[in-house]
Structure 1
Amino acid sequence: MKRLLISFCFLLVFNVVKAQNLKTQIVVLGNDQFTLAAATQAAKSGVSTIILNNLSAQDLIKDLSLNSWLVKGILDTNKNKNIDNQNIPSLLDSVENLKVLNSVNWIKVDRSGSGWNIKLKDGRSVRAEVLLYGIKEDLSALLKYSPKTVSKKLNYEDNKYRTSVAGYFVDGVSNYSLLKDFIPETDENLVLLNFEDVNMDIARAAGVIAAYAPFFKVKVSSTKLKPVQGEMLGFKSPIIAISDVFESDNNWRAIQNIVQTGILKLSINENGAYFEGDKPVSLKEISEPLKAYFYKAKIWIEDHEAVELSIKKTVELIAYTRNKSAESLLSEIKKKWQSTYKFNGELNAERIIARREFAAITQDYLELEQVNIDNLGEVIR
């Protein structure tokens, strides 16, 4: 009887300890609004996420602007509630897939298979598939990642900007960060966010990148660029910072995509980076990048080098490239002109096409988001 009682007590203690241990797809370590933003974005991207920090909930959000994306965007499930710094912690608890553990100290980070095990000071453990590393100190003698800068000024000296996963302004200058900056080569299923120049856009990119592996059931090293860019754009987070195009623009995503490809380039000066959507498009400016993206476009362009790029000619170019009927394509575009694209006036097919119009049409019919590129921004055929 005594042995039975001992066994029962052991089993009870074991089950209590087991119940205290937590399991999640992503665990985030960090003590600021940026790691909170990354954790929240990962949760919004559809994976279970736990963020550990040793600050109180109020300390965590004390300097968080009420106009920030984290408050205005991520708490959209509470859009009918009055949001202030006092109730942000409780509202965060209602974000699906997200668990915020405030005032929790971790004491050790270990590998657990291909994932991670974080031991907490209170005796619990958190097991996760992916670790999002948002702290400045080393995790262990063997796991050291010194903070680095990941902001790069937008320019067209090479094509690396095509691999951007976050676009933002630094002192009015368009900057971007690359997918490879977030994924270390030496440790699997680890995403970095302990950057010196971290900001809210970089944090959101880290959250999306961390979510990719558990969502698609692959390793972090297998993360693909195009789905990450698509997820960022789906959440209205820019991959290229543009001075004169805003989220409220009906064709915002189309413009982001055409600029990211370099088929239409921004006008960059000391005041910003401008799309200038009402300016006309010339065949000369788009010919080289478009030929790199589509072999059939190369053939059409070489046969029409002297033409002005009217809306009609643009449709013919797209139709030839995508093996479609130019007449049917033009008819479709006419129907979308005002209803979908929200352009003013009737479509005049003989007029030179404007940059905004070119972006909208190519978004629908060239499907540029589906074209794969390598780490240097070169098109993979």
Structure 2
Amino acid sequence: MIKKSLLLLICIFGFLGLKAQKIKTDVLVTGRENWAAALQSASSAVKTIFLYSPGNFPVGQLDVNLPSGIAAELLKKTKGTATTAQTDYIIEKWLDSTKNLSLIQVQEPFMLLSSGSGWKVRLADGRDLRAKVAVSSTPSLNQPLPIDYTAMEYRTSLGSGIYYSGKKTTATFFTLRDFLSPEKENAVYVPFTEIQAAQAAGAIAAYAAFFKTKTSLSNVKRIQGELLGFKMALVPLTDVSPSDSTWRAVQNLTLMGVLKPVVQDGNLFFKPRQPVQIEEVKQPLKDLFYKAQIWFDDNGAGTMTLAKTIALVCYVGNKSEDAVRMVLEKRWDIDFKLEGPLDYTKPISRTAFSILVNAYLKPADVGTDKSGRITR
């Protein structure tokens, strides 16, 4: 009788123990090479589990890519001279100290399986991991797309700057379609073993989990905003650093094609000090804003000055010119310190134009479809 009771207790506690092994999370990232996806997902305020096997943390073509976001932060942490072992140590510590992120290292192989609208992994020790969204790697023969401003898809960029050896260029980008499969919902696939691609995958997964939606319904604009908030360049500009205070404004204008960079020797240059010509911004702004068409009918050619730029943003954005001038006069030496003394008649640089247009017209908020066409 005592043996039967003891056996019953063992069975009960064993059953409870098995139940306790079911671990739920928002995002499950698998594969050591996707450590940046786990980091981004957790940093985007969703619970994330990173499931990986022993080994080194891959960093891709870190020495030839144009770094931004997590890649740039890693270079800063390693000072660009760390050994593989030192880099692994830095990444491990970084992951371990990140809020919302749990690390699980396993020796045995595992399989990612669909489970309802989500995904699950059964580990060899009996633990059952379940997630709303899963991130994993998938072999891809595709290369990042070279930036082409004659097409519209550049507006849907979710990351950039991966070196394309076939074209010898870092003027590349990738889009949402590189990460999703039409056959599998709430699964995000990292197409390139590069930090930028993994970071974008983490943001895509976090968006779906945070807003309780499907990955097929991803809002590209929101994901772009999240990545920009973490200093991930959507346009790979060689001459405007993420540490520059004007970087976000410049990113927004080049992302929407208001000001187009130029490719030289495989790199993309914004040319921040170059004066803005009316002809180069007329059609892009007319495409984005109805009222810009009327303004440019009366201002069809020549060089943009500070006065003309103020008149443009006030007319299109329904602002008071006097109010805008008052703000500029107070903040000119702070926000425009590289522009020299305040002079309304002077030609305006691409940087100053970006700051004003971004602040008063917010072109990056204008909707686009999945191909990059404007939807107003």
- Give the TM-score of the pair, scaled to structure 1: 0.87
Closer, same or farther in 2 for the Cα pair 1:165/1:286, shift >3 Å? Answer: same
Q: Which has the higher contact order (CA 8 A, sep 6+)?
A: 2
Q: Is 1:329 matched up with 2:324?
A: yes
**1:346, distance to aligned residue in structure 2 (A):** 2.5
Equivalent pair of 2:146/2:173 in contact (CA under 8 Å) = yes
SS of 1:60 mapped into structure 2: coil
Equivalent pair of 1:31/1:135 in contact (CA under 8 Å) = no
Q: Separation in 2 of the partners of 1:73 and 1:321?
A: 38
Aligned pair partner of 1:201 in 186, 196, 201: 196
Q: Separation in 2 of the partners of 1:4 and 1:234?
A: 60
Closer, same or farther in 2 for the Cα pair 1:110/1:157, shift >3 Å? Answer: same
**1:99, distance to aligned residue in structure 2 (A):** 1.6
Identity of aligned residues (%): 34
Aligned pair partner of 1:188 in 185, 189, 193: 185
Aligned pair partner of 1:267 in 239, 262, 267: 262
Equivalent pair of 1:30/1:135 in contact (CA under 8 Å) = no
Aligned pair partner of 2:56 in 57, 60, 75: 60
Equivalent pair of 2:60/2:193 in contact (CA under 8 Å) = no
**1:74, distance to aligned residue in structure 2 (A):** 7.2
Q: Is 1:246 matched up with 2:246?
A: no
Closer, same or farther in 2 for the Cα pair 1:202/1:65, shift >3 Å? Answer: closer
Partner of 1:218 in structure 2? 213
Aligned pair partner of 1:115 in 109, 113, 118: 118
Structure 1 window deviating more from structure 2 (297-306 vs 68-77): it is 68-77
**1:247, distance to aligned residue in structure 2 (A):** 1.6
Equivalent pair of 2:133/2:209 in contact (CA under 8 Å) = yes
**1:349, distance to aligned residue in structure 2 (A):** 0.9
Q: Separation in 2 of the partners of 1:166 and 1:43?
A: 18
Partner of 1:30 in structure 2? 31
Partner of 2:297 in structure 1? 302
Aligned pair partner of 2:128 in 125, 136, 140: 125
Q: Separation in 1 of the partners of 2:109 and 2:212?
A: 27
Equivalent pair of 1:75/1:92 in contact (CA under 8 Å) = no
Q: Separation in 2 of the partners of 1:96 and 1:245?
A: 30
Equivalent pair of 2:32/2:58 in contact (CA under 8 Å) = no
Partner of 1:162 in structure 2? 155
1:50-80 CA deviation, whole Å, 9 max, x = no partner? 12122x2xx2338789998658737999xxx
Q: Separation in 2 of the partners of 1:275 and 1:71?
A: 21
* Structure 1 segments unaligned to the other structure (5+ residues): 137-146
Closer, same or farther in 2 for the Cα pair 1:287/1:91, shift >3 Å? Answer: closer
1:326-348 CA deviation, whole Å, 9 max, x = no partner? 22112212322222344343311
The correspondence of residues 367-378 of structure 1 with structure 2, limited to 5 A, is 367-378=362-373
Partner of 1:141 in structure 2? none
Q: Separation in 1 of the partners of 2:207 and 2:231?
A: 17
Q: Separation in 1 of the partners of 2:16 and 2:336?
A: 59
Q: What is the identity, as a one-letter code, of the residue corresponding to 1:60?
A: N
- How many residues end up aligned between the 2 structures? 362
1:228-251 CA deviation, whole Å, 9 max, x = no partner? 111111111100101111122110
Closer, same or farther in 2 for the Cα pair 1:198/1:250, shift >3 Å? Answer: same
SS of 2:56 mapped into structure 1: helix
Partner of 1:139 in structure 2? none
Q: Separation in 2 of the partners of 1:166 and 1:294?
A: 26
Q: Separation in 1 of the partners of 2:124 and 2:75?
A: 30
- Give the TM-score of the pair, scaled to structure 2: 0.88
Equivalent pair of 1:250/1:342 in contact (CA under 8 Å) = no
Partner of 1:48 in structure 2? 47
Q: Separation in 1 of the partners of 2:72 and 2:275?
A: 36
Partner of 1:142 in structure 2? none
Equivalent pair of 2:138/2:189 in contact (CA under 8 Å) = no
Q: CA RMSD in A?
A: 2.8
Partner of 2:15 in structure 1? 14
SS of 1:343 mapped into structure 2: helix
Equivalent pair of 1:163/1:225 in contact (CA under 8 Å) = yes
Equivalent pair of 1:337/1:343 in contact (CA under 8 Å) = no
Partner of 1:149 in structure 2? 142
Q: Separation in 2 of the partners of 1:28 and 1:41?
A: 11
Closer, same or farther in 2 for the Cα pair 1:92/1:320, shift >3 Å? Answer: same
Closer, same or farther in 2 for the Cα pair 1:310/1:219, shift >3 Å? Answer: same
Partner of 1:256 in structure 2? 251
Partner of 2:73 in structure 1? 73
The correspondence of residues 223-238 of structure 1 with structure 2, limited to 5 A, is 223-238=218-233
SS of 2:26 mapped into structure 1: strand
1:107-140 CA deviation, whole Å, 9 max, x = no partner? 333222210111112222110000102254xxxx
SS of 1:108 mapped into structure 2: coil
Q: What is the identity, as a one-letter code, of the residue corresponding to 2:290?
A: Y
